[in-house]
Amino acid sequence: MAVYELSIETHFSAAHQLRGYDGDCARLHGHNWHIRLFVECSKLDALGMGIDYKIMKRELKAALERWDHYNLNDIPPFDSINPTSENVARLLCEEMRRRLDNGRVRVSRVEVAETCTAKVIYRP
């Protein structure tokens, strides 16, 4: 069966520090976090779309508002778990699945990059 995978990219800015980490990242620092959201479907709607990119962009922007320009360590659940790229990717993927999965389309993965050379991909 053929599958379409659509993606959008955005970014947000936030500070964080890694508790219990032996290295520079234990100190408060910031990133321009780059996000790629992937959604897949096997059937198109009546217009020939898997999902409107406008919907993906709107929902991703809304999900990221709670983190943008904040210290992630101050925001639950990062007040009790480390705001690593891995945890950011998993939590964002879970949130986007709640927002977008509808039986015809589903979030297939989320990519989070702290820098241009360091990123993680989370697949549910």
How confident is the model over 33-82, as pLDDT tens digits?
Answer: 999 999 999 999 999 999 999 999 999 999 999 999 999 999 999 999 99
Query: How far apart, in whole angstroms, are the C-alpha atoms of residue 16 and residue 86?
Result: 13
Each domain of the chain, given as residue ranges in start order, spans 4-122
To the query of whether residue 16 is one of the catalytic residues in this protein, the response is: no
Host H or E run for residue 93: helix 85-100
Rounded to the nearest integer, the mean pLDDT of the chain is 97
User: Active-site residue among 41, 69, 111, 116?
Assistant: 69
Sheet of 4-16: strands edge to edge?
A: 4-16, 29-41, 105-115, 118-122
Instruction: List C-alpha distances in Å: 55 to 35, 37, 101.
Output: 16, 12, 12
Q: What are phi and psi of 118, to 5 degrees?
A: -135, 115
Per-residue confidence (pLDDT) for residue 1, from 0 to 100: 81
To the query of whether residue 116 is one of the catalytic residues in this protein, the response is: no
19 pLDDT higher than 90: yes
Which amino acid makes up residue 68?
D
To the query of whether residue 69 is one of the catalytic residues in this protein, the response is: yes
What homologous superfamily does CATH list for 4-122? 6-pyruvoyl tetrahydropterin synthase/QueD (3.30.479.10)
